[in-house]
Chain A
Amino acid sequence: MRAYLLALIVVASCAPLRSGTETAAPGPAAQSAGLAAIDPLIETLWRDAKVTPAPPADDGAFLRRVSLDLIGRVPTLGETKALLADAGADRRARAVDRLLGSHEFAEHWGDLYADLLFGQERKAAKLERQYDPQSWLVKAFEDNRRYDEIARELITATGDLRSNGAVGFITARARGGGGPEAVTGAAARIFLGLQIQCAQCHDHPYDKRWKQEDFYGLVAYFARTKPKNEKITGDLGEMSMAMDAEMEAATPKKKKAKAMKTFVLVDVKRGEARMHRPHSEEDELVSPRFLGHDVAPRGEETRRQALARAILGSDLFAKSMVSRTWAQLFGAGLVEPWDDLGGENDARHPGLLVALARDFVASGYDIKRLLRTIVLSTAYARSSAGTEAGVTAFAQAGVRPLSPEQLFRSLVAATGAEEMGKRRRDPERTEKRLLQAFREYQFVFGDDEMAEANRFDGSVPQSLLLMNGELTNGGTKGDEGGVLGQVLAASADPAARIDDLYLAAYSRRPTAQERAPLVEYVKSQRNGRAAYEDVFFALVTSTEAITNH
């Protein structure tokens, strides 16, 4: 659903193909300032869980993981070789800084946050396609805006969706169905890490702290906010025109010319939260109340501005961001699930979460610094090899599925399909075909909210698309411009070629055991090029290539 521009797929695979020398993991000199504080806490976590940490991941595995997490695709063959050839002690920190500074980082995290904030309801998705509120998020990540400012704007924004993407959060949630209750549930989950929406219909079934009136106390802050659907008179916004033209091209017959509409978010003078108790005839009106404290608007403040003040003043605000970010980077939370923090100042919140949250606040809510701290930590650097016993205590990396966006962009980066296509036919047609393929991947590989990403366990249509689709079959051809073509041109030695294909698909070299049967295979086949295509195809469609680990 997210509109990625394919031009953003930076295929740097044309970097010189030389074999790098592997050296040990970087030493303490490469560590960032915040890091020293958290590694001992991680080691305590391991000791408490009585797990032996998995060995450190090698540079290639680290680069693959951190590229997927920060920029949403695997490294190209050239990028991997560059890191493997780098002997500098701070090479990982430099690689991380390069990724965090790239436009691809802003695009990928804008994408993740669009999913998180706007939700999955069909009407919300339609609104996103039309008005692209995601670009507001991309800009925020690009500029590394303070997280507290971003949150305040998302909670309090007013105005026309076309000119202020921040309006998108409340508008999409309210339009998605469920009104102010849906907005409240999303806001509490995202900005406080609370699953208080369970108390919408009755007192919270498991968490005795939350009563139905607590939920409606929060709903009351949104009771005077209305997303108005307004017809556009006069000039249409340029952005939405462009988006429409793109939609038109993709679905030629569907769209008829309809009057353009936009959404305008306004705060009105009246409106109350109405709570319906089970088995009761009449609704009760509930006043604004924040998790048991009276936080009323001061002076000219709107109810939403008062709420933003309360949220930003709660310890749960920074903790929920840290909890979610950790879960995004590890596939599992310090608190599980990440959005189940329970309540304010809870003594059960893990020390590591508390320390990271404190550091995050002290840094001025610096998102890039938080990411950098976590990805350069000793926990993030673990290998995924082993029996999975250590995964729960972050002593071993887990094996996780990729999102459709990560998968598509990774396949393009690993194979050089875009460059190959552009050499073969005109660039515009290549982009069009890639866009079609991308939509297909989005459709077939689905898209869930982050919280549900863990239960995602593959499907038959996905396997069929990988096995028989154009991107994998065409991308693994040995044509000019593609990665296989380059690999074949760079060396005539079968072992060196297989090594390069492993680096392209997995960002690592094969073991001797892995290499031998493949070398034997390519030697046994009459058509050499076709044999390498077969090998490359098997690699890029395998679980190792389509997961983060």
Chain B
Amino acid sequence: MTARSSPEEPVLRVRNLRVAFPAPGGAVHPVDGVSFDLHRGRTLALVGESGCGKSLTSLSLLRLLPPPGRIEPGSEIRLDGVDVLALEGEALRAIRGRRIGMIFQDPMTSLNPVFRVGDQIAEGILAHFKIPKREARERAIALLREVGFPDPARRADAFPHQLSGGMRQRVMIAIALAAEPDILVADEPTTALDVTVQAQILEVLDRLRASRGMAVLLITHDLGIVAGRADRVAVMYAGQIVEEAPTAELFARPSHPYTQGLFASIPRLDGPVRRLNPIPGTVPSPHAWPSGCRFRPRCPRAFEKSVLEPPLFTVGPDHRMRCWLGEHAGEQ
């Protein structure tokens, strides 16, 4: 295990991240003041439904926002202390892939269909390391073995269409790992995959996190895959983090009404079958964030103070939530 700095020091520090998109009535902010840390060897899960801003958050880390999106001044992203938002050109390219790697939801659209997968991995290696082609090929085969292919030398010669969805996703992971990043951002890596394959991929990611001491940011809408696979969970709603806690703590004591609503609406395999309790209404659009607490229109526990925007309050060990109901929690 290679620990390159003390586990207490975050390898990535995000503070007050705000993303703006121009709109007729004035800019909208689909990511609106997000803060979190990533630590080596640990997984943070960023959980939320469509439109909460989680994907834009992850793209911001690599400065890959689709135009005309912009990261607003006042946002801070520090990689081992270095201000990522101040980097340009060569310096920025040096961190993309090499320090922060990323894998996406649909591996078929990320792989070049006319090149063999081994060559695509080798290409990734050569982009970051000046080594002879033969050595790049050897490293590519080693990576294929590391992501779980039993016959990596043979697989290296396959074209993407010859591989199943799960295999292609493993190739994507191998390409991301080729650059030996300190941080891996996985944006819905298993959503398009079958459930048994999903289990394999998540296991590969977890094993690599441990063996390489990587920090992993796992972005998903599925609370179920987070349990047992992330150290910490942050729940996003309407561009903000509304609750964050160590995983076991969040599952044992979900405190924000939105988080509680999510749990109540998820079908379960354990316990008796019960009628699902969906959250009434729908997720708001960034064009119309509700004033005050953004969950207020759908919240069964909204009260007078909800018309004001709540800050994060501490409600348990390393457990914070953005809700006025938590204001006096620490005083109990």
Tell me whether A and B are bound partners. no
Binding site for B on A (CB under 8 A): none
